[in-house]
Amino acid sequence: SIAYLNGAFLPLEAARISPLDRGFLFGDGIYEVIPYYNRKPVGFAPHMQRMINGLAALEIKCNKSVEEWRDLLDTLISQNEGDNFGVYVHVSRGADTKRFHAYPDNVEPTIFAFAFSIKEPEPVDRAKVHPYTVSSTQDLRWKRCNIKSTALLGNVMHFQQGYAAGNNEILLYNERNELTEGSSCNAFIVKDGVVVTPIEDNQILPGITRRIIIDSLKADGSIKVEERTVTMDEVRSADEIWITSSSKEIAPVVKLDGNPVGNGEVGPVWEAAFRIYTERKFDF
């Protein structure tokens, strides 16, 4: 596939960065993944605004606006084949001449992007969707999970815990036994028809899919949705659990730590919410 690196479009295999790049040495960078279905992005502006916010938090001087990102990534996708893909965008602080923790003054950020193919959306049908099974564990990541940092080792180690246990995600909870999110996704529960998800704070990534779901459900009005603290006791007695991300959209979870979620089948609120989301997702 064709990638973008520091002003040039080139074959992905030909892209090269310095081993002194602070993205490589320190995980000192910000990234995004934007989903495209039939070559149309979902949540382009909020994704890139989150990236701009993350770069500002790290004082990385990359001054591209949402519109400039749009032009750059439109050019990237015009050079790649396929209908459904994720576009990975990564800005690291750049390569210094030495390895020193303090932010260097005169470095150019490294800007990298490439497109990878993703599956088409799951069917909006409880009987046909591929459900997830998840583990759970205490969240041992850092206290700035709202920053979409390329330093993902905490997430990777948690994901691996779930994966090694035979699951395809892992739910995380803080020391107060409150749900935070998944290792690479946000989390929702449903109880008595009400959809509930943890608030946006430093314990979770402010997911764009999460936002689109909340805003779509509120605009539709037929399903009640709440943002508030969610305890693991609530998660374990929920009727439904969903995990959400740009690549998963809304994925239903049917098993938590080996126990069935609700009656162990994909729930009706998932189907109703996924229909509403699917009808509205390109509006964001």
Tell me the C-alpha distance between 51 and 37, whole Å: 21
Site string for ligand PLP, 241-260 (x = CB under 6 A): ---xxx--------------
Site size for ligand PLP, by CB under 6 A? 13
Q: Taking Cα atoms as reference points, which of 51, 49, 45 lies closest to residue 112?
A: 51
The closest of 256, 195, 183, 250 to 228, measured between CA atoms, is 195
Residue 238 CB coordination number (10 Å): 22
- Least spacing, CB of residue 170 vs ligand PLP, in Å: 11
With residue 245 as reference, give the H or E element that holds it: strand 240-245
- DSSP state at residue 228: S
80 is a site residue for ligand PLP (CB under 6 A): no
Work out whether 185 is an interface residue with ligand PLP (CB under 6 A).
Answer: yes
Kindly state the smallest distance separating residue 5's Cβ from ligand PLP, in Å: 22
x/- string (CB under 6 A) for ligand PLP, residues 131-170?
------------------------x---------------
Indicate which residue of 64, 148, 248, 281 is catalytic. Answer: 148
Q: Has 255 been annotated as catalytic?
A: no
CA distance 275 to 37: 16
Q: Strand, helix or coil at 178?
A: strand
Binding mask 187-206 for ligand PLP (x = CB under 6 A): ------------------x-
Q: Give the Cα separation of 240 and 269 in Å (integer).
A: 8
Applying the rule CB under 6 A, the residues between 27 and 66 that interact with ligand PLP are none
Residues binding ligand PLP (CB under 6 A): 155, 181, 184-186, 205, 207-210, 244-246
Active site (catalytic) residues: 148
